[in-house]
Structure 1
Amino acid sequence: MTRILRLAAAGLLIGAAAPAMAMNICVEGAYPPFSETAPDGSVVGFDIDMANALCAQIGESCTMVKVDWDGIIPALLEKKCDAIVASMSITEDRKQVIDFTKKYYQTPARFVAPKGSDLEFTPEGLAGKVVGVQRGTIHQAFMEGEFPDTTLQLYGTQDEMTLDLTSGRIDAAMADSVALDLGFLRTPAGADYAFYGESYSIPKYHGEGAGIGVRKEDTELRDKLTAAIDAIRADGEYATIEKKYFDFDVYGN
């Protein structure tokens, strides 16, 4: 009997010493300044800092799992990760498949093209022109819905899109304005390019802002992360992270 108790006690001690399982977070790693891959292979950016802050707020450790954009929702559904923190807009179509927290930021979309472009950035003006968008994004849906006569060139990443833009293979590109500004226009590669047309933030296409994606059954995790977003906005941590990347309010209205 004494031996059994000793074994049980040893088991409890071993169990107590075992490290907690980290929560896996799906990130893209190819969407600066929100998420990009550093020279050492780590993933850095606003999304990553947000993920770490929110995990700490709910008492979880985080492991970032880099996944191509096209496969990021399937990875969540296949339980390769527990949540998506990848600047994913909350849209009705996506809510049919996964659930979301409240938004953690919201920014409009814009066109970018070579400086001095004489294109008219209207559905009529871009008819027959070639515009690049990232595949499977709100920007693809917007262009298909509002610019039906424009030829779309689809890309796996924004970097691939801007590379084709600078190579002259497309006439213009459409993407998130902040990602285009900080990830392209303010870099040497984007020196000869500029924004054109109006800013777009149409709920039908652009949704309710970027939220954290979770599986539909994980309602407790969704609610914890939503509360954590409110908490870091209230205690100033959100503002500290925001100032590291932006000189404006990225959260939006």
Structure 2
Amino acid sequence: MQRSLIPAIALSLATLGATAHAEEPLKIGISAEPYPPFTYTSSEGEWTGFEVELAESICDAMQAKCEITPTGWSGIIPSLKSERIDMIMNSMSITEARKKVIDFTDPYYFTPGAYVAAKDAELSLPEGLDSLVLGVQSATTNATFARQALRDTGVDIRLYDQAEQVNRDLLSGRLDVILADEIAMTELVERDEASDYEIKGTAPHHEAYGEGVGIGIRQGDDDLKTKLNAAIKKVQQDGTCTRLSEEYFGTDVCVG
């Protein structure tokens, strides 16, 4: 009798383990450093923003349990590859360089890079960058664009780990100009402390900016990619993406 119970017990434990594993939520990696209005913490300490709400809608469309998992931006791709997170949804542009190490879903939004400087600064782009100090967040498409397209302009490019560090150094006068996502820069110049600053122009279309922003996933995770693409299509077609975009940005940045 005892021998006959062992396989049954083993099977039950295996079934319970499989069920528990199946119910594990998908971990959505976002940068631990706030990136408003895309990702930031509310006054209650909860993560919110355009991409957080859109991620929730995408998970609902997949009928999947998900959880936001803050991760340092510089280590977010290694975290994906080592399976500490299951996807990256944090304004990550689809580029050829990144596609060598991870895969992407279809794009869900696109915005250009924007230059911000003091309102009284006479700035022609890109020629007028000569001898100026430009700040940009490292490991971003804007940093890639700056290295590839601006290195011959005579500008002094300074790289930062966090977007807010770039903003603070501009407002404190340690930088002459910064280059970052246009939507994020629109939010920056609306702050009271940035009333003397404005967007001076946007970066031209360049290969550094890739095909738009998509959800980063591990190479070979085809089942998840198929489900995510279907969910992205659904939130685009039913107006969810546009509604959230207009709520947070005042304009529609969704693609597809």
Q: Which amino acid aligns with 1:35?
A: T
Q: Determine whether 1:167 maps to 2:172.
A: yes
Q: Determine whether 1:130 maps to 2:137.
A: no
Q: Which amino acid aligns with 2:205?
A: I
Q: Deviations 1:185-212 (Å, cap 9, x if unpaired)?
A: 1111221100113x22524111111100
Distance 2:218 2:12 in 1: 37
Distance 1:139 1:94 in 2: 14
Equivalent pair of 2:145/2:206 in contact (CA under 8 Å): no
- State the shift of 1:9 in Å: 10
Equivalent pair of 1:109/1:174 in contact (CA under 8 Å): yes
Distance 1:201 1:31 in 2: 23
Q: Deviations 1:47-99 (Å, cap 9, x if unpaired)?
A: 11111111111121111111121111111111110000000001111111100
Q: Determine whether 1:228 maps to 2:231.
A: yes
Distance 2:124 2:54 in 1: 38
- State the shift of 1:6 in Å: 9.1
Q: Deviations 1:144-187 (Å, cap 9, x if unpaired)?
A: 111112111111121110100010001000011111102x1111
Equivalent pair of 2:242/2:254 in contact (CA under 8 Å): no
Alignment of 1:205-216 (within 5 A): 205-216=208-219
Equivalent pair of 1:26/1:82 in contact (CA under 8 Å): yes
Number of matched residues? 250
Distance 1:6 1:79 in 2: 32
Aligned counterpart, 2:26:
23
- Structure 2 spans left out of the alignment, 5+ residues: none
Distance 1:104 1:9, change over 3 A: same
- State the shift of 1:243 in Å: 3.0
More strand, by proportion? 1
Distance 1:98 1:8 in 2: 37
Aligned counterpart, 1:243:
246
Of 85, 89, 100, the match for 1:85: 89
- State the shift of 1:15 in Å: 6.8
Aligned counterpart, 2:156:
151
Distance 1:6 1:215 in 2: 36
Aligned counterpart, 1:37:
41
Q: Secondary structure at the match of 1:120?
A: coil
Q: Determine whether 1:46 maps to 2:50.
A: yes
Stretches of 4+ aligned residues off by more than 3 angstroms: 1-19
- State the shift of 1:26 in Å: 0.3
